[in-house]
Amino acid sequence: MEKEQLIKEKFQKEGLVDSISKYQIYYQMALGTLVKETCFDKDEMASKLEELQLDINVENVLNVMVKLISNFHDDKDFEQIYEDNIKVNAFLHSLKDFVDNNKDLTNSDKVYDSYHEKIMNDEFFDVKMQLQFIDEVEDRKAYWKDLITDSISKEILSSALTLSK
């Protein structure tokens, strides 16, 4: 499909809501897993999540979307590649934010490398995460649908078309 046509599709309100919702869920699931696997007890986990106060930056998500469309628009498996890369980018973004912002983390390079390898080898996203994703995606879409107005989506689409040139 043509790049411009894909951008128009993915940056309409419905496409934005879909991609941002999925990216945010993946990001937060990865963050939860990272905290759970590097903390020693539940109290520490809760306080660490509170301390880190991490979440997605929507501008980063939009940039990822443009890059994915620009790089893979000609591929016959575009939709699958797009979906997989939204997930992988969210996981990697969460990992980077976690390592960069967690001052208590010892061996941060080792932690980063280990989880980076798991993510890239598709060994990170397990069945439990898949079920959590399915369970949350519609609620998250409803949340973003209220936030992204038609006028906002038109502005974002215009910006995406300019960025992709």
Per-residue pLDDT band at 95 (split at 50, 70, 90): very high
Task: Provide mean pLDDT across the span 24-49.
Answer: 84
Task: Provide mean pLDDT across the span 12-17.
Answer: 96
pTM of the model: 0.93
CA 106, CA 103: separation in Å to the nearest integer? 8
Task: Provide mean pLDDT across the span 97-118.
Answer: 92
The pLDDT value given to residue 163: 83
The pLDDT value given to residue 49: 72
Percent of the chain, pLDDT > 90? 79
Task: Provide mean pLDDT across the span 82-103.
Answer: 95
Mean pLDDT over all residues of the chain? Answer: 92
CA 9, CA 91: separation in Å to the nearest integer? 24
CA 75, CA 82: separation in Å to the nearest integer? 10
Assess whether pLDDT exceeds 90 at residue 116.
Answer: yes
User: Which amino acid, 126?
Assistant: D
The domain of 48 spans 3-163
Domain count of the chain?
A: 1
Q: Are 164 and 69 in contact (CB under 8 A)?
A: yes
Q: How many beta carbons lie within 10 A of that of residue 150, not counting itself? A: 9
CA dihedral defined by 1, 11, 70, 115, rounded to 10 degrees? Answer: -120
The pLDDT value given to residue 52: 80
In tens, the pLDDT along 43-87 reads: 677 777 777 878 899 999 999 999 999 999 999 999 999 999 999
| Nearest residue to 27 via CA among 1, 67, 64, 2 | 64
